[in-house]
């Protein structure tokens, strides 16, 4: 945290404290400076001096008490105000964490509020209840209103009649609703209630009514519709003031805009739903993948390129002939099983992936099982990258293709035999046939047996035999063995 030149009230000796939270704000509660401990414990962005409000670190129900303490500090600069406040929790099911704060106004006339706090237990917070309200002194009402108008929430007082007719609203109500204070003072009975969202109006009325009857403080969150039609979420807290006959005389309270908090909660809820849906889809895909790999007898492996950790599924252990609980390193199993004639080629393929020369690669290689049998493995692998492009892991599949390779070898052997037959036909069979065709040609030229019918049949048969031999030889020579390689 940089030391600001102007904030002479800030105790810079506590900047590195690991016990005390130290914050200074202006009269509106806007953070001017804070130590690192406060920023670390109250969330990213809080306490960075970039226009953040101290109230952003508090739950909505504690904000009124906090600003009441601020008003006390400003009214009585020589008096330290102690107050227990909770830390705002982004996760709703976490227990409350309490901090005891001591607030004091600076004596330099800059209206700076110094906050020094330390963590306390729930029991400590309840056993000692420091003063939280505005001190009951004879106050200059004009001065009090001026101070209240610094609070970033609408402070109000209304009568205890059936309409809860308005007596006072701080200037913040205009920022909150778009309507001026004069508008509400001219419409004391219905000016504010008409702004409450129709779906929340009944609940608000019932909440205040029940609090008045039970003489308890009320808290409620609801929506209002601003002058420009925008819907905003607000938090309202208040309590009745009763006369000697226990009849409600006034209701004092405050209203804060919590729209940003609601939006954050909604975004978190949406993120959780999306993450839950994603996990469901991933689980379904995993089930399908497992079914597919089991049906095809495919093993899956992953190598963490950062830590070197290797993960095999059950099928991989079966393929390499080892039990799942083997104490041997999976790296050792792999390289021990690799046929020595294929080891260099497989190392080259793996290096091409890791060096990013290729992102996908595959090969067929041989392994030697512990019982000495040789099996042929078909492998495919890809590189998994991080969002920044760094290498994360090598993910791949293994499949035993020994039977397929044996079939291919058998077909290649059959092709070899066919080529040998074609060679015999081409050279051994066609040699006497060529002699016969030569004799026929001589006899034909001499004209000695030209008129005989058997002569024509002999010529036709010899030519047909020669043509069939040529066809067989050509087809055999065109057999492609590359598909088996």
**Mean of the pLDDT values across residues 353-376?**
87
Tokens for 483, please give them: 């598909």
Identify the domain boundary among 117, 147, 177. 147
Gap between the Cα atoms of 40 and 384, Å rounded: 33
Same domain for 326 and 376? yes
**Mean of the pLDDT values across residues 34-50?**
70
Q: What is the CATH number of the domain that holds 353?
A: 3.30.450.20
Lowest mean pLDDT among 254-258, 383-387, 403-407: 383-387
Identify the band that residue 139 occupies on the pLDDT scale cut at 50, 70 and 90.
very low
**What whole-number percentage of the chain has pLDDT above 70?**
76
Report the domain count for the chain.
4
Same domain for 98 and 230? no
Half-sphere exposure of 244 (CA within 13 A, CB side): 0
Residue burial 246-271, b: 16+ Cβ < 10 Å; e: rest: eebebbbbbbbbbeebbeeeeeeeee
Nearest 5 degrees, angle CA 405-CA 408-CA 411?
A: 155
Same domain for 96 and 142? yes
Tokens for 455, please give them: 């002569």
- The three-state (H, E, C) secondary structure of 295-352, written as one string: HCCEEEEEEECCCCCEEECHHHHHHHCCCCCCCCCHHHHHHHHECCCCHHHHHHHHHH
Lowest mean pLDDT among 235-249, 255-269, 342-356, 445-459: 445-459
Q: Could you tell me if residue 264 is inside a domain?
A: no
- Residue 193 has what DSSP assignment? G
**Mean of the pLDDT values across residues 363-378?**
92
Place of tokens 């252990």: 317
Same domain for 142 and 164? no
Gap between the Cα atoms of 417 and 476, Å rounded: 10
Q: Could you tell me if residue 266 is inside a domain?
A: no
Place of tokens 């040789």: 374
**What whole-number percentage of the chain has pLDDT above 90?**
20
**Mean of the pLDDT values across residues 333-357?**
88
CB 53 within 8 A of CB 30: yes
Residue 339 neighbours by CB distance under 10 Å: 16
Q: Could you tell me if residue 282 is inside a domain?
A: no
Lowest mean pLDDT among 50-64, 256-270, 448-462: 448-462
Residue among 121, 131, 95, 101 nearest 34 (CA) = 101
pLDDT for residue 145: 61
Between the CA atoms of 41, 43, 47 and 51, what dihedral angle is there, to the nearest 10 degrees?
A: -160
- Residue 9 has what DSSP assignment? T
CB 368 within 8 A of CB 268: no
Identify the domain boundary among 232, 257, 282. 257
Identify the domain boundary among 147, 167, 189. 147
**Mean of the pLDDT values across residues 414-433?**
67
Higher-confidence residue of 309 and 449: namely 309
Q: Sign of the C-alpha dihedral, residues 28, 42, 255, 155?
A: negative
Same domain for 201 and 248? yes
pLDDT for residue 221: 94
Q: Please, what is the average pLDDT of the chain?
A: 80
Q: Which of 113-127, 365-379, 451-465 has the highest mean pLDDT?
A: 365-379
Same domain for 97 and 158? no
Same domain for 338 and 379? yes
CA–CA distances in Å: residue 119 to residues 10, 81, 125, 274: 20, 17, 10, 35
Same domain for 112 and 12? yes
Same domain for 118 and 136? yes
Q: Could you tell me if residue 341 is inside a domain?
A: yes
Gap between the Cα atoms of 459 and 17, Å rounded: 114
Q: Could you tell me if residue 332 is inside a domain?
A: yes
Q: Would you list the DSSP string of 110-158?
A: S--EEEEEEEE-HHHHHH-----S---S---HHHHHHHHTTSSSEEEEE
**Mean of the pLDDT values across residues 86-100?**
80
pLDDT for residue 32: 87
Same domain for 322 and 374? yes
Is the confidence at residue 158, as pLDDT, over 50? yes
Gap between the Cα atoms of 212 and 221, Å rounded: 18
Cα Rg of the chain (Å, integer): 45
CB 382 within 8 A of CB 350: no
Same domain for 76 and 186? no
Gap between the Cα atoms of 311 and 292, Å rounded: 19
pLDDT for residue 429: 61
pLDDT for residue 428: 60
Gap between the Cα atoms of 221 and 425, Å rounded: 98
Is the confidence at residue 138, as pLDDT, over 50? no
Identify the band that residue 194 occupies on the pLDDT scale cut at 50, 70 and 90.
very high
Q: Could you tell me if residue 334 is inside a domain?
A: yes
Same domain for 164 and 134? no
* Ramachandran area for residue 256 (φ above 0: left; ψ -120 to 50: alpha; else beta): beta
Tokens for 366, please give them: 């041989």
Identify the band that residue 208 occupies on the pLDDT scale cut at 50, 70 and 90.
very high
pLDDT for residue 91: 62
pLDDT for residue 282: 63
Q: Could you tell me if residue 289 is inside a domain?
A: no
Q: Could you tell me if residue 90 is inside a domain?
A: yes
Three-state DSSP at 152 gives coil
Domain range for 316: 297-400
Higher-confidence residue of 148 and 252: namely 252
- Which residues lie closer than 8 Å to 6 by C-beta, 6 or more apart? 110
């Amino acid at each position: 945290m940089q030391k600001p030149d102007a904030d002479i009230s800030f105790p810079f000796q506590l900047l590195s404290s690991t016990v005390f939270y130290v914050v200074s704000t202006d009269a509106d509660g806007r953070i001017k400076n804070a130590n690192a401990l406060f920023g670390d414990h109250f969330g990213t962005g809080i306490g960075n001096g970039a226009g953040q409000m101290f109230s952003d670190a508090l739950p909505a129900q504690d904000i009124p008490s906090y600003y009441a303490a601020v008003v006390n500090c400003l009214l009585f600069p020589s008096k330290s105000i102690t107050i227990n406040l909770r830390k705002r929790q982004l996760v709703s099911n976490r227990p409350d964490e309490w901090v005891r704060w001591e607030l004091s106004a600076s004596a330099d006339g800059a209206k700076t509020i110094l906050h020094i706090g330390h963590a306390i237990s729930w029991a400590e917070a309840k056993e000692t209840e420091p003063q939280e309200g505005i001190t009951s002194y004879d106050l200059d009402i004009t001065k009090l209103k001026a101070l209240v108008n610094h609070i970033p929430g609408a402070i109000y007082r209304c009568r205890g009649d059936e309409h809860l007719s308005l007596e006072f609203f701080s200037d913040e109500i205009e920022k909150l609703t778009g309507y001026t204070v004069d508008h509400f003072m001219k419409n004391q009975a219905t000016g504010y209630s008409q702004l409450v969202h129709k779906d929340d109006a009944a609940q608000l009325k019932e909440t205040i009514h029940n609090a008045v009857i039970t003489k308890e403080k009320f808290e409620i969150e609801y929506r209002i519709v601003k002058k420009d039609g925008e819907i905003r979420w607000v938090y309202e807290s208040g309590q009745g003031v009763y006369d000697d006959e226990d009849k409600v005389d006034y209701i004092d309270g405050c209203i804060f805009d919590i729209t940003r908090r609601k939006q954050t909660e909604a975004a978190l809820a949406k993120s959780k739903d999306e993450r839950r849906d994603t996990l469901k889809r991933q689980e379904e895909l995993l089930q399908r993948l497992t079914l597919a790999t089991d049906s095809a007898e495919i093993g899956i492996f992953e190598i963490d390129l950062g830590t070197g950790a290797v993960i095999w599924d059950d099928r991989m252990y079966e393929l390499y002939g080892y039990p799942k609980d083997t104490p041997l390193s999976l790296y050792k199993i792999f390289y021990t099983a690799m046929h020595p004639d294929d080891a260099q080629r497989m190392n080259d393929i793996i290096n091409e992936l890791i060096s990013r020369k290729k992102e996908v690669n595959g090969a067929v290689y041989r392994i030697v099982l512990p019982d000495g049998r040789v099996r042929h493995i078909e492998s495919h692998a890809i590189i998994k990258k991080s969002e920044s492009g760094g290498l994360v892991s090598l993910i791949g599949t293994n499949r035993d293709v020994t039977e397929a390779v044996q079939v291919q070898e058998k077909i290649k052997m059959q092709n070899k035999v066919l080529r040998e037959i074609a060679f015999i036909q081409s050279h051994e069979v066609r040699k006497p046939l060529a002699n016969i065709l030569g004799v026929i040609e001589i006899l034909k030229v001499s004209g000695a047996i030209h008129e005989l019918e058997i002569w024509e049949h002999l010529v036709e048969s010899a030519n047909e035999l020669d043509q069939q031999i040529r066809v067989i030889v050509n087809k055999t020579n065109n057999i492609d063995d590359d598909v088996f390689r």
